[in-house]
């Protein structure tokens, strides 16, 4: 039986974890991100509205994916947590522009609380493209 190789992903382009977790973990050709909220790399809430926070959340995830060697184009599954489900339509439009087409599988959940006063949190799984084989 082979042992799983894991790498903990870290970038200064996304906020530092506020608890005992990694920004992301790569394993077996995939990267799993921790939930990201709309705070900037300095740890400041990006704004008080859903559009500003969602766009910052997308930037954070994009930075973590880049540090793992992938992009939002390789997203497989996302989970979106919304403090206010009335924001679904707005977030859906922003999300669609961010992920492109075809979109990954997604679950959206309404929640009563998110850390740091956030209105949105997103976690995801993405494939890490394999380096091309050298030509012979």
List strand residue ranges (DSSP E) for 16-136, in order: 24-27, 30-33, 36-37, 75-82, 105-110, 120-127
Q: Is residue 133 part of a domain?
A: no
The overall longest dimension of the chain from CA atoms, in Å, is 57
Q: Does residue 85 surpass a pLDDT of 80?
A: yes
Q: Does residue 63 surpass a pLDDT of 90?
A: yes
pLDDT of 4 reads 78
Q: How many domains does the structure of the chain reveal?
A: 1
Q: Is residue 41 part of a domain?
A: yes
Q: Is residue 72 part of a domain?
A: yes
Residue 122: which CATH number? 3.30.1330.40
Give residue 62's domain range: 6-127
| N-term to C-term CA, the chain | 31
Q: Is residue 36 part of a domain?
A: yes
12-34 pLDDT per residue, tens? 999 999 999 999 999 999 999 99
Contact 59, 112 (CB under 8 A): no
Q: Is residue 44 part of a domain?
A: yes
Average pLDDT, the chain: 94
Q: Is residue 132 part of a domain?
A: no
Q: Is residue 134 part of a domain?
A: no
């Amino acid at each position: 039986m082979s042992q799983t190789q894991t790498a903990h992903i870290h970038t200064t382009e996304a906020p530092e974890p506020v608890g005992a977790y990694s920004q992301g973990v790569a394993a077996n050709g995939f990267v799993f991100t921790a939930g990201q909220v709309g705070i900037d790399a300095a740890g400041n809430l990006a704004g008080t509205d859903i559009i500003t926070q969602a766009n910052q959340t997308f930037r954070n995830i994009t930075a973590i994916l880049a540090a793992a060697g992938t992009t939002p184009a390789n997203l497989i599954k996302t989970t979106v947590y919304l403090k206010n489900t009335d924001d679904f339509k707005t977030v859906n439009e922003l999300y669609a522009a961010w992920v492109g087409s075809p979109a990954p599988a997604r679950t959206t959940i309404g929640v009563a609380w998110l850390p740091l006063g956030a209105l949105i949190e997103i976690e995801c799984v993405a494939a890490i493209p394999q380096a091309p084989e050298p030509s012979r």
